[in-house]
């Protein structure tokens, strides 16, 4: 349901602007007219208003979210219906999404990532305690306020945690959902913990762990692929952060953190303990129920993955006489974690010694019993033809056959699988465990390793033109290709948007190939330096401003004791400031000082009268007493000199210019007092001029009038 700006709902909420679109609802910024505050106004989309199931789910969302009250959860203020408008009113958060900050700042420092994760975990802890599973934890649903606080929002697909079903519509975002969500299985609080682990991975590496061209491909990777080595993207990750991420993203939910409180405690410990030796392993539990879904994507996932059975269900590491009976994909992950030490702040050391002593005594007793029983068992089996199955895992096919001949049993090569642990041709699993009872003539099926899975040789380039770099990252598989962006100015394409790509969409390239992206830097901002106009005549100042690729704004007049009429006494932007080209500069021009001018005129008139009288009285005597040449010198005025500084604004790339300084002597062309071709490195240039009265000089650069300056001698 789209609402126009200015619409008032329930005689209280005024729609200001649309700020987002979710899976089920449109989101607006609105004004609560009653309490005079901005709110987030969420309205169910029009295509769902006739669907009773969606209306019911929307109502459940509102009721569930309204029960939550926590500083790290967006507060729900109100919920209601007006006509066919179903809405929720929430706290309005001014800030950014965590996704935006990841795009701009990731990888985060360890303490920064932990600080964010602790607040998310605190929010989940509160929600889980109230029976709410979020189901859609992702950076887009995590808001960062201006003061750096974290707010978890959008419980759009959250439902009571005792619900054991999940549909395609309520499935969390594909990049962050858990393996059980991918399978359509039972979803509980541990699914949120998995998603939090993926978010933490993205914060510390700057990339998503899994990418694919379709939801099905991504789902398959969440189900079966190990988490990529995060140190490849950020070698500064502490061991504690790495171990927390690995435990939070375990494929089997019972091997993850079992509560938000548990992961929150480890996140807080990781702030001061970088080793991660406090992290505990979870015991494997295969009691979690699953629910099969029927949507198209889920059917495809089910087709590509086998249903959990005793044979292919990933198992915990089970070492028996050196034999590891586990899924090869899970083995490496279990190996990584098997050395984790249990952590207990309250553990009593004296009790520990007692437990160890008791364990040692018990162990000796068990060994004695096993030894006696083993001797009896072997003697008995020798007589009856029964025997203990040999260990075949780790042996070559030839060695396994030799063992079969030795024990008079058949060895059948039943399957071949890729393995990161076993070399090609080595037995990696057997149908009968070593030591189990087996009769002569029985068979043991073996699975043989194909070695490491070969890397796919080709990658199909998708189209990312028109996307920003953040969206492109979500679409591209960075483990398959390398991205090389080149940034260029563009007057039409917005900042950060991809203009072109090479290779083009659909091109098949080898893994590790480079994808060249041309990215817009937006409109190029040209700048100019503001010239110094103070003390210069208005015409000169205007010419300087225009030659600097700037504009003359208003001309304001004001009285001045210092500057004569027509000279600039002030400018709105200080000289030397770098501004955008075309910026307007207002000039304040002196209108003189009327009182001082009147006083000066009166004094001048008096002096002229006195001088005239004295001249008349003494004229004859002076003429008689002084020689003729002395009279001529006195008639001449004294010649004085002054310096004119020339420092014009020269266009970039020009090496030299012609400089002319012309004295305004009343003629049509003026008197040229200086003319020279000057290298731009010689500026500022000083030119000496001489005169007996106030004279105006005009400066020409390459034949164009560049400025004027009046000199009083």
Q: What percent of the chain has pLDDT over 90?
A: 30
**Domain assignment of residue 685, yes or no:** yes
**Domain assignment of residue 358, yes or no:** no
Residues 55 and 147 in one domain: no
pLDDT of res. 269: 95
Higher-confidence residue of 303 and 603: namely 603
Sign of the four-CA dihedral 292, 293, 294, 300: negative
Residues 502 and 575 in one domain: no
Domain that holds residue 209: 95-243+265-311
Using H for helix, E for strand and C for coil, what is the string for 132-188? EECCCCCHHHEEEECCCCEEECCCCCCEECCCCCCCCCCCCCCCCCCHHHHHCCCCC
**Domain assignment of residue 136, yes or no:** yes
Tell me the CB-side half-sphere exposure of residue 122, using CA atoms within 13 A: 17
Higher-confidence residue of 72 and 686: namely 72
Q: Which residue has 């590891």 as its token pair?
A: 324
pLDDT in tens, 118-175: 999 999 999 999 888 888 899 999 999 988 899 998 765 545 333 333 333 333 478 9
**Domain assignment of residue 484, yes or no:** yes
Domain count, the chain: 5
Answering whether pTM is above 0.85, one says: no
d(CA 433, CA 437): 9
d(CA 599, CA 604): 9
pLDDT of res. 636: 54
Q: Of the residues 491, 520, 549, which one is the last residue of a structural domain?
A: 520
What CATH code is carried by the domain that includes residue 280? 1.10.510.10
What CATH code is carried by the domain that includes residue 53? 3.30.200.20
Residues 535 and 503 in one domain: no
Q: Of the residues 285, 311, 337, which one is the last residue of a structural domain?
A: 311
DSSP 511-533: TTEEEEEEEE--S---EEEPP--
Lowest mean pLDDT among 78-82, 464-468, 537-541, 632-636: 632-636
Residues 136 and 276 in one domain: yes
What pLDDT band is residue 458 in, cutting at 50, 70 and 90?
confident
Residues 207 and 305 in one domain: yes
pLDDT in tens, 540-579: 899 999 988 899 988 888 888 888 889 999 998 988 888 8
Residues 164 and 287 in one domain: yes
pLDDT in tens, 334-389: 332 333 223 333 334 444 444 445 554 555 555 555 545 554 444 444 444 678 88
**Domain assignment of residue 254, yes or no:** no
Residues 25 and 153 in one domain: no
Residues 558 and 666 in one domain: no
pLDDT in tens, 594-650: 766 666 666 656 655 565 555 555 555 555 554 555 444 544 567 788 888 888 888
Q: Are 192 and 161 in contact (CB under 8 A)?
A: no
Residues 77 and 117 in one domain: no
Q: Is 629 a known active-site residue?
A: no
What CATH code is carried by the domain that includes residue 467? 3.30.10.20
How many Å is the maximal CA-CA distance in the chain?
166
32, 36, 78, 136: the catalytic one is 136
What pLDDT band is residue 21 in, cutting at 50, 70 and 90?
confident
What CATH code is carried by the domain that includes residue 643? 2.60.40.2560
Residues 288 and 218 in one domain: yes
**Domain assignment of residue 673, yes or no:** yes
What pLDDT band is residue 298 in, cutting at 50, 70 and 90?
low
pLDDT of res. 286: 40
Average pLDDT, the chain: 78
Model confidence at 675: pLDDT above 50: yes
Residues 87 and 105 in one domain: no
Q: Of the residues 46, 76, 91, which one is the last residue of a structural domain?
A: 91
Residues 226 and 108 in one domain: yes
Tell me the CB-side half-sphere exposure of residue 601, using CA atoms within 13 A: 6
Higher-confidence residue of 285 and 181: namely 181
Give which of 185, 157, 175 is closest to 214, Cα–Cα: 175
């Amino acid at each position: 349901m789209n609402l126009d700006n200015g619409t008032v709902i329930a005689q209280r909420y005024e729609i200001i602007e649309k700020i987002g679109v979710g899976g089920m609802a449109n989101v607006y910024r609105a004004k609560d007219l009653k309490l005079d505050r901005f709110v987030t106004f969420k309205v169910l989309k029009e295509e769902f208003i006739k669907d009773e199931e969606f209306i019911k789910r929307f109502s459940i969302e509102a009721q569930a979210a309204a029960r939550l009250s926590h500083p790290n959860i967006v507060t729900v203020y109100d919920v209601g219906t007006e006509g066919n408008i179903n809405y929720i009113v929430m706290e309005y958060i001014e800030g950014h999404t965590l996704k935006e900050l990841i795009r701009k700042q990731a990888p985060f420092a360890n303490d920064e990532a932990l600080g964010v994760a602790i607040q998310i975990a605190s929010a989940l802890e509160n929600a889980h305690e109230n029976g709410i599973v979020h189901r859609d934890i992702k950076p887009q649903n995590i808001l960062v306020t201006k003061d750096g606080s974290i707010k978890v929002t959008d419980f759009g697909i959250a439902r009571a945690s005792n619900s054991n079903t999940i549909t395609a519509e309520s499935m969390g975002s594909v990049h962050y959902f858990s393996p059980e969500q991918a399978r359509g299985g039972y979803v509980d609080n541990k699914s949120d913990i998995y998603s939090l682990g993926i978010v933490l991975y993205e914060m510390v590496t700057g990339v998503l762990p899994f990418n694919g061209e379709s939801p099905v491909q991504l789902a398959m990777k969440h189900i079966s692929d190990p988490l990529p080595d995060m140190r490849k993207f950020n070698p500064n990750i502490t061991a504690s952060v790495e171990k927390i991420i690995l435990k939070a993203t375990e494929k089997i939910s019972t091997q993850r953190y079992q509560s938000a409180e548990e992961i929150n405690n480890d996140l807080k410990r990781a702030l001061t303990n970088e080793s991660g030796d406090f992290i505990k392993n979870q015991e494997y539990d295969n009691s979690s129920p699953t629910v099969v879904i029927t949507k198209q994507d889920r059917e495809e996932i089910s087709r590509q993955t086998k249903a959990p059975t005793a044979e292919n269900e990933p198992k915990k590491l089970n070492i028996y006489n050196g034999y590891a009976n586990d899924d090869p994909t899970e083995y490496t992950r279990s190996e990584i974690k098997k050395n984790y030490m249990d952590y207990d702040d309250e553990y009593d050391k004296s009790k520990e010694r007692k437990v160890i002593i008791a364990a040692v005594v018990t162990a000796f007793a068990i060994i004695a019993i096993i030894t006696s029983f083993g001797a009896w068992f072997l003697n008995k089996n020798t007589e009856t033809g029964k025997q203990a199955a040999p260990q075949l895992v780790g042996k070559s096919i030839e060695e396994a056959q030799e063992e079969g001949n030795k024990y008079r049993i058949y060895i059948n090569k039943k399957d071949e699988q890729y393995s990161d642990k076993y070399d090609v041709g080595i037995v990696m699993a057997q149908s009968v465990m070593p030591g189990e009872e087996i009769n002569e003539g029985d068979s043991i099926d073996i699975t043989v390793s194909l070695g490491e899975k070969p890397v796919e040789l080709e990658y199909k380039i998708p189209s990312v033109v028109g996307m920003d770099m953040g969206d492109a990252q979500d679409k591209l598989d960075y483990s398959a290709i390398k991205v090389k962006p080149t940034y260029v100015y563009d007057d039409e394409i917005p900042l950060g948007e991809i203009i072109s790509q090479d290779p083009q969409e659909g091109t098949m390239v080898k893994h590790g190939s480079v994808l060249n992206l041309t990215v817009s830097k937006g409109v190029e901002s040209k700048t100019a330096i503001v010239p110094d106009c103070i003390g210069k005549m208005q015409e000169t100042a205007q010419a300087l401003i225009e030659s600097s690729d700037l504009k003359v704004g208003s001309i304001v007049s004001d009285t001045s004791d210092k500057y004569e009429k027509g000279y600039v006494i002030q400018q709105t932007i200080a000289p030397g400031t770098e501004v955008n080209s075309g910026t307007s500069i207002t000039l304040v021009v002196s209108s003189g000082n009327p009182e001082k001018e009147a006083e000066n005129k009166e004094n001048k008139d008096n002096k002229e009268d006195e001088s005239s009288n004295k001249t008349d009285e003494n004229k004859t005597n002076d003429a008689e007493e002084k020689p003729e040449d002395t009279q001529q010198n006195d008639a001449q005025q004294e010649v004085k000199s002054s310096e004119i500084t020339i420092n014009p604004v020269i266009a970039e790339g020009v090496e030299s210019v012609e400089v002319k300084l012309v004295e305004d002597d009343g003629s049509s062309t003026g008197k040229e007092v200086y003319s020279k071709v000057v290298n731009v490195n010689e500026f500022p240039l000083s030119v000496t001029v001489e005169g007996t009265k106030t004279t105006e000089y005009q400066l020409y650069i390459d034949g164009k009038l560049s400025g004027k300056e009046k000199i009083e001698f």
